[in-house]
Amino acid sequence: MNYLVLLFFLSFLSCFNESVRDKIDKGWSKAEDIVNNLKDPVFPDKEYIISDFGAINDGKTDCTDAFRNAVQKCHDKGGGKLIVPAGTYLTGAIHMMSNVHIHFEDGAILLFTTDKGKYLPNVYTRFEGMECMNYSPFIYAYEQENIALTGKGILDGQGEVWWSWKGNWSGSINTGWKHGTPSQRSDNEALREMVANNTPVEERVFGEGHFLRPNFVQFYKCKNILIDGLILKNSPMWNIHPVLSENIILRNVEVRTLGPNNDGCNPESSKNILIENCLFDTGDDCIAIKSGRNEDGRRINVPSENIIVRNCTMYEGHGGVVIGSEISGNVRNVFVENCMMNSKNLERAIRIKSNSLRGGVVEDLYVRNLKVVQVSEATFKINLFYSSERGEFYPVIRNIFLEEVHSYKSKYPVWIKADQEASVDNIYLINCTFEEAEKENYIKNVSNLVMENVSINGVTQ
């Protein structure tokens, strides 16, 4: 009888493992299809030079009108490439238009002015997952398609003049905020109340006289986007922020900025995205996938999906690849492979964060071939009590696959804390090693957590 029971168990285990393997293989096959269907935008063979529109590369002359006129002409003529030669160009907000490709030659620096009036009038935007009218992001597009930013240039946001609006912040950089000086807190609270009350977006007016920081690069309701080869530094807040957009390629980009909430890339309610061969050294999450916050996320109800992150390097940040915390509109089909994470100031490698006020469904996250040299907290973390907010929209987390994740130094290998009412199901760690882990796994309220060939400090689990 015992022999028959053993045979049945082994047969069941074999079928179970084949089922999981099949699910993983189908997932990565889908990732391959997503990449194959993504194409760089194509532009007419026409060239324009920014100096022909009055731009002077002395770092002092205001070139805002020159960029505006050049983008407009390029667009009106059917599109093409706008070339920015070497030198330093001072400018305010640049609004991209369809079929316009701005190419920065080696030695070109785009220096964004500290004059906040140059980011007015207000535009339709999002602040931390909530729609509002606010200062224009520094590079912005609304309902445009076929747009590109490429080359070896540097985009310098001079964000230090905005950082104090964060208020009290525990990051590594002094923002300059002091008690009694302006901060975003009251405006942030006002916007949250407007969202909770379903106030029309056109009545959620901030900008001048208020203290909500703009993002650096934002594409809103756009498609066919390419950013290739640039260096971004000193952002006011989030760096690259596609919203309700699709078909996006981010390639060979470096984001080096340690200011408050200086996330590297935040795809939000967007789909069909490839982030490859990029470097992130940031003051917040390196990559944070989002889909709107609270009532706004549920009202708009557009998930982020079909996102591939590969061959990237993450240094400082709150998390390497993160889903959340503004995920009320759901996230699915995220693929992370062949990435390296290494910094004593990188807190987590892979992270999912939400709470019962923000809610959201996160499903089908695939991670493989991840090298984590060191993180200061957990290699893999799920926190469904993020920010201590409570409500009745319990998150759902399911179908998470981590394979060939090798971590060499962390506090926790795995840290998961969920509500009893939340659903955290089907978490798989396969062929993973965790070395120099200070503590054991912390796991609370998880259903079906499977570890297959997992070693922690040399001990097979």
The pLDDT score that the predictor gives to residue 12 is 42
Tokens representing 62 are 């205001």
pTM: 0.95
Residues 6+ apart with CB under 8 A from 69: 53, 54
Rounded distance between C-alpha atoms, residue 223 and residue 98, angstroms:
9
Of 68, 72, 47, 67, nearest to 56 by C-alpha is 67
Segment 289-307 mean pLDDT: 98
pLDDT, greater one: 76 or 1:
76
The pLDDT score that the predictor gives to residue 174 is 87
The domain over range 41-284 is classified in CATH as 3.40.50.2020: no
Architecture of domain 293-461: 3 Solenoid (2.160)
3 pLDDT more than 90: no
The pLDDT score that the predictor gives to residue 149 is 99
Residues 200-258 have pLDDT tens digits of 999 999 999 999 999 999 999 999 999 999 999 999 999 999 999 999 999 999 999 99
Maximum Cα interatomic distance, the chain, rounded to a whole number of Å? 89
Segment 329-351 mean pLDDT: 98
Domain coordinates of the chain in residue numbers? 41-284, 293-461
Percent of the chain with pLDDT over 90: 93
> Is residue 350 a contact partner of residue 414, using CB atoms and an 8 Å limit?
no
Of 1, 104, 2, 41, nearest to 274 by C-alpha is 41
Residues 123-154 have pLDDT tens digits of 999 999 999 999 999 999 999 999 999 999 99
pLDDT, greater one: 176 or 408:
408
3-state secondary structure the chain: CHHHHHHHHHHHHHHHHHHHHHHHHHHHHHHHHHHHHCCCCCCCCCEEEHHHHCCCCEEEEECHHHHHHHHHHHHHCCCEEEEECCEEEEECCEECCCCEEEEECCCEEEEECCCHHHHCCCEEEEECCEEEEECCCCEEEECCEEEEEEECCEEECCCHHHHHHHCCCCCCCCCCCCCCCCCCHHHHHHHHHHHHCCCCHHHCECCCCCCCCCCCEEEECCEEEEEECCEEECCCCCCEEEECCEEEEEECCEEEECCCCCCCECCECCEEEEEECCEEEECCCCEEEECECHHHHHHHCCCEEEEEEECCEECCEEEEEEECCCECCCEEEEEEEEEEEECCCEEEEEEEECCCCCCCEEEEEEEEEEEEEECCCEEEEEECCHHHCCCCCCCEEEEEEEEEEEECCECEEEEEECCCCCEEEEEEEEEEEECCECCCCEEECCEEEEEEEEEECCEEC
The pLDDT score that the predictor gives to residue 15 is 47
Asked if 41-284 and 293-461 have one fold, the answer is yes
